[in-house]
Chain A
Amino acid sequence: MAVLTERATARPAPVRNTRRIAVAAIVAGWLVLWLILRGHQTLELGTSDLTSLHRWFNDFNDAIGADRNSNPLFLYFFNEIRLVIDNLVTFFQGLISQPSFGRPVPAIGWLGVVAIAGYASWALGNLRVAALAVGGFVFFGLQGLWQESMDTLALTLSAVFVSLLIGIPIGVWAGLSSRVNRLVTPVLDFMQTMPTFVYLAPLTLFFLIGPASATIATLIYATPPAVRITAHAIRSVPHTTVEAAESLGSTRRQTLTKVLLPMAKRTIVLGVNQTIMAALSMVTIAALIDAPGLGKTVVKALETLDVGVAFNAGLAIVVMAIVLDRVTTAASVRAEVAGRASRNSVRRRRAGLVGAGVVTAVCVWLSYTYVWASQFPEGAGLGDDIARTADSVTRWAQSNLSGATNGLRDAMTTALLNPFEDVLTGSPWWLVGAVLVALGAVLGGWRAGATAAVCVALIVASGLWRDSMTTLASSLVATVIVMALGVVVGVWMGRSAMADRLIRPVLDAGQTMPAFVYLVPFLALFGATRFTAIVAAIVYAAPVTMKIIADGIRGVPETAVEAATAAGSSTWQTITKVQLPMARKSLTLATNQGLIYVLSMVVVGGLVGAGALGYDVVAGFSQGQLYGKGLAAGLAIVLLGVMFDRITQAAAQRAAGAPSGR
């Protein structure tokens, strides 16, 4: 491989050309063979048909269920974990959301919580985010969702706490040892792409119905970012600094505590931030196993298609996400500059914090003692207004836009989706498999090709080949649209700080607004179709790609842009010939993340007419006899994700040039 990469760097242009020709040849060959062989060996499986693997999964699941009351693993291991986590969540709930300690109200009422939120935001961040936090928390109360929000907060905080407790040490370890990193990475991929629906029901067998299961479901999804970002932070500490510390005779522990951790602190805080976001995105799904909070409101509202109420609750989740995001971001900046300020301003800040601490303590005491400070005054009614507005906007859109939206849907479906799906699902499985492996090998090298081969084999073994290809077709179309949007908006944001400031909150909302909220209007606009699923996936995935591409554009050195301008480039030329090519690394990362995010919406797509793997997973969650098939479908989604992740990453690495020998 070393020889291969060397050649690649030595003569990049011709190699890239041959690669392009090879890809074109593979695709052309595929199309020809498809025309000849279409409809043969497509491995179709009926909706309620099962393979022996699916039945085996079913039996396995049943065996666990039948065994649970006698198995010592359950009695002593899982029960202990459950008790600890249950107590943790119940403690938080008792503090801020649920009647506790023999009182009809929680220990700390709304005034106290608002004061603490503001105080903590100031202490960890700055005054601006403190104001934001106070405003956000009061907003929950005005929405009429105080208790629900606090339940969600309690659950999220517990899940994040446990995630970090597990994630940061593992992340540090993975940052120190590339062996551990290699071992951990596939596990993390699995945790992030395996649809929650698949493990939600079994979780309640292990940890019973209640806060523990909800917390664990959340942390399975929320821990990976903490691990990845911590590992990345540790690995990005400059080697010289570590070497310098070693050359002075630091022990390994001293290097870790005095050099690596302090220098990685800022990035690790960003990991905390991502963990919080991931945890919040699980709120609605966890509600399906009785997790208290805003998710329940959303799910209940969905039963009666009450968009207004669902939107109100969804908005609370978005606000909570934005508050927590901005506070943790400010905290990471503070982690960097802490103690840098002049002595005088430090003293002033300290005095201010002491004063604010006193005020906070008084507020907490008031909220403990008096009813008015404990229960948020009712009748603010902002929630009703929000719900009504959302309702009427939705109704207007449904009755006035559906003509246009149906046209768009039909055009996209016939022009892009159907042909693509026909080729993928109509070709014999071995042909598509061979094409995927060949593309992997050409674009990413033999290692990526081998990964693709293994993934293809496992997908065939899952018995869901045909469904996987249908899902793959929709996912690729969604990714293409996501990338197109990402480039347009990302470039705009990257070039204009103003645009960035305006768009970013919208993107945050797109990422954290529960899909269940916007599915109902989307269903009205586009019907129960694959296209609806694609639109939902775009809403969720486009923000990430936009953010990454904007970052990449901003990362292009000023001098390069200056040189282009000096040479007389037009804006268009500067973008296409300088900024986009130089941001190529970000573009690849954006494609990669875009596809992974699209895949994580496959299950949601199954709820609105996408069928295929998403529907298999949902049906497996709802019907006992389809459980095994749902699990297999979940695994197929993971495999699709892993395959494309490895190919795009390998391709990106090759495009960026060979890594240095040493």
Chain B
Amino acid sequence: MVTGRRPAGRFAALAGAAALALVVSGCGGAKVGGSSDSTGGGKGKCGTFNLAVNPWVGYEANAAVIAYVAEKDLGCKVTKKDLKEEVAWQGFGTGEVDAVVENWGHDDLKKKYIDQQKTAVSAGETGNTGVIGWYVPPWMAKKYPDITDSKNLNKYADLFKTSESSGKGQLLDGDPSFVTNDGALVKNLKLDYKVVYAGSEAALIQAFRQAEAKKTPVIGYFYEPQWLFSELKLTKVDLPKYTDGCDSVPDKVACDYPGYLLDKVVSKKFSTSGSPAFDLVKKFEWTNEDQNLVAKYIAQDKMSPEAAAKKWVDANRTKVKSWLP
């Protein structure tokens, strides 16, 4: 049938030959599913564990360690879901999220999902304390030692002038995820500053980094624990001391932010499921140093979350044991 003369025939013949060559040359390798490498896979009672991962590295450290332990020690199948906080909490109601393992305050969400909709329950603290406040880069703290007292800030307002601050000092505010009282603070402490909204964590970090590298002045809203501190020890500016209830009226706030005891929240369904993963989440507790270390592995040493978790867990077996049933 193939005459070999017609171009069509030649093409087909050529293609056939190429295909044959491919088959022959390809048949050397290992076959898919040849060696049984069953990683993970539920060992019965744990089943699937839906873990929300909020978009910051500290959280990622918590999640990585919990996920690693849940998989290796409890045999759970862990599904990580990358979500913003608000969306993650919504997931409690729809049954798509079992746990949030680092929560910064969020009284509004607690009220909505724990008290009103009753789809979520608290699962205790993580052991980390969160600090929110105003920070300056290390070189400024060294050069202007008294800048760390908010009373002296007006003296330095000129330093912080930028194209955005219309003649006043610029107070760089930040991440829209965090509740801020800075507008009220500036007004009530009678500071000659203007709050400028950087708009993202990345913008804040970049501002502090550039300031330290170029020795330019900047003052801004920030928080600990944060992986940046392993690279850059920002210095906190002392605002008037926090007392209970001093921040109850948003417009009248004139005191520092309270310390946050970071905590864990799980869905109601998960809490009653009898899953060993729930016990793990509930018992999970570590220090700021622990988290900073894992966060450093991820952010600076560019390890994958799994590798970072493995490294830490291998070195801290005893602590991990205490979380297990």
Contacts and interface: CB of A to CB of B under 8 A. Distances in A.
In the complex, is A directly touching B at CB under 8 Å?
A: yes
Interface of A: 46-48, 62, 65-66, 68-69, 103-105, 109, 200-201, 204-205, 208-210, 287-290, 296, 299-300, 302-306, 309, 344, 347-348, 350-352, 354-356, 358-359, 361-363, 366, 368-374, 398-399, 402, 409-410, 413-414, 418, 519-520, 523-524, 527-531, 605-611, 614-615, 618-619, 621-625, 627
Contacts of A368: 32
B283 interface: no
Contacts of A299: 55, 82
B9 interface: yes
A590 to B, nearest CB: 29
A83 to B, nearest CB: 14
7 contacts: A358-B19, A519-B202, A528-B199, A528-B203, A608-B203, A622-B176, A624-B86
A369 B31 contact: yes
B247 to A, nearest CB: 13
B23 interface: yes
Interface in B63-109: 81-87, 90-91, 93-94, 96-97, 108-109
B130 interface: no
A371 B31 contact: yes
Interface in B192-245: 195-207, 209-210, 213-214, 227
Given A304-B299, A358-B19, A618-B199, A520 B206 contact: yes
A530 B164 contact: yes
Contacts of B84: 201, 288-289, 621-622
Q: Which 8 A-B pairs have the closest CB atoms?
A: A355-B15, A351-B8, A528-B198, A619-B176, A372-B29, A523-B206, A304-B299, A622-B177
A358 B164 contact: no
A351 B57 contact: no
A354 B176 contact: no
Contacts of B274: none
Contacts of A66: 116-117
B12 A208 contact: no
B37 interface: yes
Contacts of A609: 164, 196-199, 203
A300 B54 CA distance: 10
Given A208-B96, A358-B16, A359-B18, A625 B210 contact: no
Secondary structure class of chain B's binding surface, majority of residues: helix
Given A371-B32, A372-B30, A607 B199 contact: yes
B90 A363 contact: no
B14 interface: yes
B145 interface: no
Interface string B15-40: 11011001100110111111001000
B259 interface: no
A220 B302 CA distance: 35
A371 B32 CA distance: 5
Interface of B: 7-9, 11-12, 14-16, 18-19, 22-23, 26-27, 29-34, 37, 55-57, 60, 81-87, 90-91, 93-94, 96-97, 108-109, 112, 116-117, 162-164, 166, 172, 175-177, 179-180, 183, 195-207, 209-210, 213-214, 227, 250, 298-300, 302
Chain A interface main SS type: helix
Given A288-B84, A520-B202, A210 B176 contact: no
B32 A352 contact: no
B93 A68 contact: yes
A344 to B, nearest CB: 8
Contacts of A366: 22-23, 26
A330 to B, nearest CB: 21
A608 B198 contact: yes
Given A351-B9, A609-B164, A625 B108 contact: yes
Contacts of B203: 519, 523, 528, 607-609
Nearest to A406: B163
Given A359-B22, A523-B206, 14 more contacts: A66-B116, A204-B94, A300-B55, A352-B15, A354-B11, A354-B15, A355-B16, A358-B19, A371-B34, A410-B163, A607-B203, A611-B197, A623-B108, A623-B177
A560 B43 CA distance: 79
Contact of B93 (A65, A362, A519, A614): A65
A529 B162 contact: yes
Contacts of A208: 94, 96
Contacts of B83: 209, 288-290
Given A288-B84, A348-B8, A520-B206, A414 B163 contact: yes
Contacts of A68: 93-94
Nearest to A111: B26
Given A519-B202, A527-B210, A369 B32 contact: yes
A201 B177 CA distance: 14
A409 B177 contact: no
Contacts of A304: 57, 227, 298-300
A289 B202 contact: no
B232 to A, nearest CB: 12
B60 A303 contact: yes
A399 B34 CA distance: 53
A587 B112 CA distance: 51
B199 A608 contact: yes
B30 A370 contact: yes
Contacts of A610: 199
Residue from B23, B82, B214 having most chain A Cβ neighbours under 10 A: B82
B29 A373 contact: yes
A302 B200 CA distance: 10
A376 to B, nearest CB: 13
A303 B32 contact: no
A205 B90 contact: yes
B199 A359 contact: no
B207 A523 contact: yes
Given A287-B82, A523-B207, A355 B22 contact: no
A122 to B, nearest CB: 12
A209 B87 contact: yes
Nearest to B22: A362
Contacts of B195: 47
A118 B1 CA distance: 29
Nearest to B166: A418
A304 B57 CA distance: 7
A33 B21 CA distance: 83
A624 B109 contact: yes
A205 B202 contact: no
A164 B222 CA distance: 45
Contacts of A309: 302
Contacts of A402: 210, 214
Contacts of B30: 370-372
B231 to A, nearest CB: 10
B30 to A, nearest CB: 5
